[in-house]
Chain A
Amino acid sequence: MSAVTRIVGDLRQGWGRYTVIGVPYLFLIVLFTIPFLVVLRLSFSQADGASFADLTSYTDGILHIQIKLANYIYLATDDLYAETYLSSLKFAAINTGLCLFIGYPFAYFMVRSPVSMRPALLMLVSLPFWTSFLLRVYAWQGLLDDEGIINGLLMWVGIIEEPIQMLRTSFSLIVGMVYTYLPFMILPLYSNLVKMDMRLLEAAKDLGCGPLKAFWLITVPLSKNGIIAGSMLVFIPSVGEYVIPTLLGGPDNLMIGRVLWDEFFANNDWPMASSVAVTMVLLILAPLVIFNRYQSQTGGDR
C-alpha cells in the first residue's frame, strides 16, 4: 500500500516538475530560440523582399544546401558597417566609463550616509525607472535644443551670445546615454558596497593609511564584482541602443541599432537587417562570455 502511494506521489511530483520546468522552457524556445534561428536563416538568404526560400532543397536524390554569404561579405567589405560597429562600441565604452565615474562615488556616498536615510536614497535612484524611459530621453530635447532651456539660461545670464548647438551632436547622445544608464551602474555598486565590512577601513586608518589610499587599496578591489556587473549592465544594452541616438544623436553619430532599424524599416532589406543582427549578437557575446567565465572563476575561488 505504501509503495503504491509512494509511486503515485512520485508521479504527481513528476507531473508538477514537468509543468514547472516545461511550460516556461517551451515558451522560451518558441518565442526566443526559434525566432533567433529564423533571423540566422534569413541572414543567409538574398534580398528579394520577405521570402523564406528554403536553404535546403532535395532534387534528383541530392540534397542541395544553399547558403548565401552575400550579406556578410557586404558587411565585411563595406566601410560604413565597420565604422558603425566601431562607433557603437566607442559610445558604449564612453557611456560605461562616465557612468562608472559618476556612479561609483555616488554609490559610495549612499553607503556612507546614515542607515536611516539609505532606503530613501535608494528609492530615489530607482524611481526614474518607473517613469517612461522614452519621456525622460525626450526631456533632454527640450533642455539641449537651440531654443531650449540651457541655451536660454546661458544667453539670459550673458555667458553666450549665440545658442550653442548641443542637440543632435555626440554631446547630447552621450548625455542621454549616461542619464538613462546611470541607475543601472549605481544599483549593483550600491548592493556590493553596502555589504563591505567598514571595520577594514578603520583598521587601515589605525595602521596609518590615509583615507584616499585606503579607498584605493581596500574599497575599490573589494567592489570589483559590483564594478563588473554595473559595467556589463550599462555597456551591453547601450551598444544596441536605438531610441537615444534617434532622438538625441546627430546624423553622423552612427549606432548599430539605428542602422539595423533603417535597414529594416526604410530599406525593407530584411536579410541585411538579419545579418546586422547576427553580427551584433556576436559582438555582445564576447564580453558576455568573458564576464560569465570571470564570474564562475571567482565563484570557484570562494
Chain B
Amino acid sequence: MKAKTVKPRVMTGNGAAAYAAMLCRPEVVASYPITPQTEVVEQLSAFKADGVLDAEMVEVEGENSAMNIVCAASIAGARVFTATSSYGLVYMYDTLLQTAGFRAPVVMVNVNRETPGIQAVSAGQQDMISTRDSGWIQIIVENDQEIIDQIIMAYRIAEDFNIQLPIMVNYDGYYLSYLAEAVQIPDQTDVDAFLAPLKKQPQRPRLVPGEARGCGTHGMEMGYVEARYKHCMALDRVKNHVDKIDKEFGEYFGRSYGGQIEEYKCADADIVIVASGSAAGTARTVIDSKRAEGLKVGLVKLRLFRPFPEERLAQALKGKKAIGVIDRSVSFGWKTGPMCTEIKSLCSKIGPVPILSYIDGLANLDINIPHIGRVIDEVAVAAKGKPYQEVTWIPMEEER
C-alpha cells in the first residue's frame, strides 16, 4: 500500500460520491436534482462555492441537457462528471446512446431507483437495467466506501486510451444514497497519483477550433458498421481492464473488490448465489451462517453488468450443482429476472444445472436475511436433483 492513511469519516453514499468526484478534478460538471441523487448535486455545488472544486458547474434545466453538456465537453477534451437516477436516466436516453456512440468518456453516477409507469420513489435497479443496451459500461457497487473507490477507478477505465467509453457507476438509492457509514476518503495527492497514468497516454481526439474535424458524422453503411464493431471491441477490452485497475487500486490503496465480479467462498461451494449492490452485503452474512450449518454455499457479487463478465462468471460457476440469482428488477417479456436470464446464457459453459430466478427488493422492499436464507435453502434442494420453481417473486409468495 502506497496511499496515506486517513482518518475515517462518517458520510452518506451521496456525500461519498460527491467527494470522490471532486477528488478526480472534473473540469465540467452538469447535473439536475432528482431524488435520491439530489445530495450529490448539492454537495458538488457546495464544494464549488467553497472554492475546493475548480470546475465549470452548469445548473441545467433537465437531465437531457446535463448529459449533452458533459458529452460535448468531453468531446472537446474535458474531464467530466454527472449524476442522475431513474426518471432522469431515462429522460437522457437519446443522449445516453449518443454519448456512447461518440465514445465520450463520461463518468456518471446513477443512484438506482424504480422507473416511471408506477410512480415509485423507491429503490430498485430497473433504471440501470432499462439502459443496458445503451453502449455504456455499467458497474454496480455495494457500500459507501466502494462508491468512492469505484468512482476514482471509473476515470481510469473510461478515459483509458484503449477504452474511451462512458461509464455508469450504480448504487442503490435509499439503501446507500442516504446510508451514513464510516468511509476513508483518500488524500488528494494519492488520487492525483492514481489517475496520473492517464496523462502519459496519447491524447484522445478532440473537437477544437481551427481543425476541420467533426463529431457525429452520418455513418452510412460500412462507416456505421466499423464504428459499431470498434465500440463492441472496446467494451470487450473493458472486462480485463476492470480487473487490472481493481488490482492496481488494491495495491495502492489497500482495498480491492474483485474487478468484474467478487467471489466469496465460491471455490469449494456446491451451490452459488448471485447478487449485486447492497444486497450482496446481506448475502455474505447469510452465507456465513449457512456455512456454519455445514452447507457449502458461496456468493458471486456481480459488479460489472455491461460488458457482461461472461468468462469470469463461467469460471466461478462451473461445476456448481445449482445457482440462485437475485434480481432487483424485472425483465419484461421474460419470466426470469434480467441478470438471471443473462447468467442462463452461460449454460453451454457451465453445464445444464438448475438456475433459479428470484425477484426481490423491488420498490424499497428489503432483500433481507430470511429472504436470502430461503433462496439458499431452495437452491440446495434443487442441487439434489429435486423439482424446483424456476421463478419466484419472493414478496408475492410471502403475501400468499
* A and B: bona fide binding partners: no
- Seen from chain A, the residues whose Cβ lies within 8 Å of a Cβ on chain B are none
